[in-house]
Amino acid sequence: MVKNETSSALKIIPLGGLHEIGKNTCVFEYDDEIILLDAGLAFPTEAMHGVNIVLPDTTYLRENRHKIKGMIVTHGHEDHIGGIAFHLKQFEIPVIYGPRLAMAMLEGKLEEAGVRDRTELRTVRPRDVVRLGKHFVVEYIRNTHSIADSFTVAINTPLGVVIHTGDFKIDHTPVDGENFDLQRLAEHGEKGVLCLLSDSTNAEVPGFTPSERSVYPNLDREFGKATGRLFVTTFASSVHRINMILQLAQKHNRAVSVVGRSMLNLIAHARNLGYIKCDDSVFHPLHAVRNMPDEKVLILTTGSQGETMAAMTRIANKEHPHIRIRPGDTVLFSANPIPGNTIAVVNTIDKLMIQGATVVYGRDKGIHVSGHGCQEEQKLMIALTRPKFFVPFHGEHRMLVKHAQTAQSMGIPAENMIIIQNGDVVELTENAIRVGGKVPSGIELVDTTSSGMVSAKVLQERQRMAEEGIVTIAAAIDWNGKLLAKPEIHLRGVVTSVERSLVQKWVQQRIEEILTVRWSEFTQPGE
């Protein structure tokens, strides 16, 4: 790489993922070149009526489309790749690099959106080094996370190396045997890292996240206890967890039926690529397991977060076309509720219990661990990379603040750290880090059923109608200001204790009054 002799700063501009968990999208810019790191989506809050998907504002990318050299994908979670298909409709990304599993999932998404031909997808392996444009050379460093094939990246820039951790925990006994490549991190630390951008998700949690493998004996115990049908629900993307569940199904002689499109999809990709090693004979369609003895059946489903349309939720609501809970069933929730989903999850659990299932849930059961590292792992990341500058990434404000405090406790000076928001333009030089400006950083709300953007105005109208309802009045008035017929009144979502006919009468009276008194005013100037 040619060392650039001008005094250009490296710009780091997160468009999503800061002050939130979701829609991680980061811009790296140097001179006339931009590379992107991940482009995820977020899920709407309850107040975003009719919205399915939240995307970052990409005004900055649209305006600077000619600079975009390509994208680096760290792993296949929706909050890292879910936005790409939408963005490709708006601006060009000449090439996208990423791990095999993420690229397989992304390819499906792009095909579904009809934009597969708008970019080139290139898969990477651990320690692969890829060049984007003149200024960026990116090294993929294997890390450990809840999805398989996940990476930390070292971005070599004209000013030095910037390490973006991606999402990580430090799992010394990973289920797939793919160890975190701590050696490469250490080597970068030895040579000098200009800046570290690190995952802050669990910055408020002391200690270490237990290894994914620690879940195995606890799941094994619960498998052993179940005497009837066994249901297990987890995140569709948790490859390692699904792997262990499938191993346990074989150990406990249960035929597996997978229910839920996203999970079927992931399992197909993960088996193709060897991340899930499991014989075809393990899997059975739902209609086949229905005739097997209860104690020989495992149904693996989506819906661990109480999502309305997911399989486990529909089963609990007695809305699933093929599955009803019956006494003797056991349901394992191998996932903790994400804040905001708690109510939906506990309601689902209660409904399953009322229908007779034994439900196993809660932290004390040990059947779920986080995919993100806690404070001690965040410290280890800083200790290995020894960065000059530090920016906490991937987290809500409180988490970023806590992560910065952790870094400060390890000797990184306060002036070498900044807490930033989406849209902040971080200007990084060899000697200083600062926020040098701001680009548009709002959100775009997508209603996938109408495949359109939901504007703030539309949202306000929806909110208002949701709270108050709407009254429509149609009245035909002749040229003399007389009603030609009874006005038509429609109430939708309106609370009223009076009869509709009475409302009709009141409205008619009021219209007639107004017509009598003020018709002349209405008709004077224009007509």
Contact positions toward a copy of itself, by CB under 8 A? 19, 45-47, 49-50, 204, 339-340, 342-343, 346, 349-350, 353-354, 359, 362, 396-398, 401, 447, 450, 452-454, 458-459, 461-463, 465-470, 472, 474, 476, 492-497
CB of 228 to Zn ion, least distance (A): 34
Chain centroid to Cα 27, Å, comes to 18
Residue number, 149 or 444, with CB nearest to a copy of itself: 444
CB of 383 to a copy of itself, least distance (A): 24
Helix (H) / strand (E) element for 121: namely: strand 120-124
CB of 389 to a copy of itself, least distance (A): 21
Are 137 and 1 in contact by the 8 Å Cβ rule? The answer is yes
Asked if 171 touches Zn ion (CB under 5 A), the answer is no
Q: Which of 166, 184, 248 is nearest to 215 (CA)?
A: 248
Asked if 427 touches Zn ion (CB under 5 A), the answer is no
- Residue 472 contacts which entry, a copy of itself, Zn ion, none (Cβ below 5-8 A, type-dependent): a copy of itself
CB of 235 to a copy of itself, least distance (A): 19
Report residue 233 as tokens: 């629900």
DSSP 335-363: SPPPTT-HHHHHHHHHHHHHTT-EEE-SG
Task: Name which of residues 78 to 107 contact Zn ion (CB under 5 A).
Answer: 79
CB of 164 to Zn ion, least distance (A): 12
CB of 406 to a copy of itself, least distance (A): 15
Task: Name which of residues 63 to 82 contact Zn ion (CB under 5 A).
Answer: 77, 79
Residue number, 193 or 359, with CB nearest to a copy of itself: 359
Report residue 506 as tokens: 């009141």
Asked if 424 touches Zn ion (CB under 5 A), the answer is no
Residue number, 159 or 267, with CB nearest to Zn ion: 267
Distance CA 285, CA 300 (A): 11
29, 139, 149, 167: which one contacts Zn ion (CB under 5 A)?
Answer: 167
Altogether, the residues listed in the chain come to a count of: 527
CB of 493 to a copy of itself, least distance (A): 4
Q: Which of 218, 127, 214, 139 is nearest to 173 (CA)?
A: 214
Distance CA 517, CA 19 (A): 57
Residue number, 167 or 329, with CB nearest to Zn ion: 167
Are 119 and 88 in contact by the 8 Å Cβ rule? The answer is yes
- Residue 312 contacts which entry, a copy of itself, Zn ion, none (Cβ below 5-8 A, type-dependent): none
Q: How many CA atoms lie within 13 A of 447 on its CB side?
A: 13
Are 174 and 213 in contact by the 8 Å Cβ rule? The answer is yes
Distance CA 274, CA 384 (A): 30
Are 92 and 115 in contact by the 8 Å Cβ rule? The answer is no
- Applying CB under 5 A, the site for Zn ion has a residue count of 3
Report residue 214 as tokens: 């620690």
CB of 235 to Zn ion, least distance (A): 10
- Residue 452 contacts which entry, Zn ion, a copy of itself, none (Cβ below 5-8 A, type-dependent): a copy of itself
Distance CA 418, CA 408 (A): 11
Asked if 329 touches Zn ion (CB under 5 A), the answer is no
- Residue 77 contacts which entry, Zn ion, a copy of itself, none (Cβ below 5-8 A, type-dependent): Zn ion
Residues that bind Zn ion (CB under 5 A): 77, 79, 167
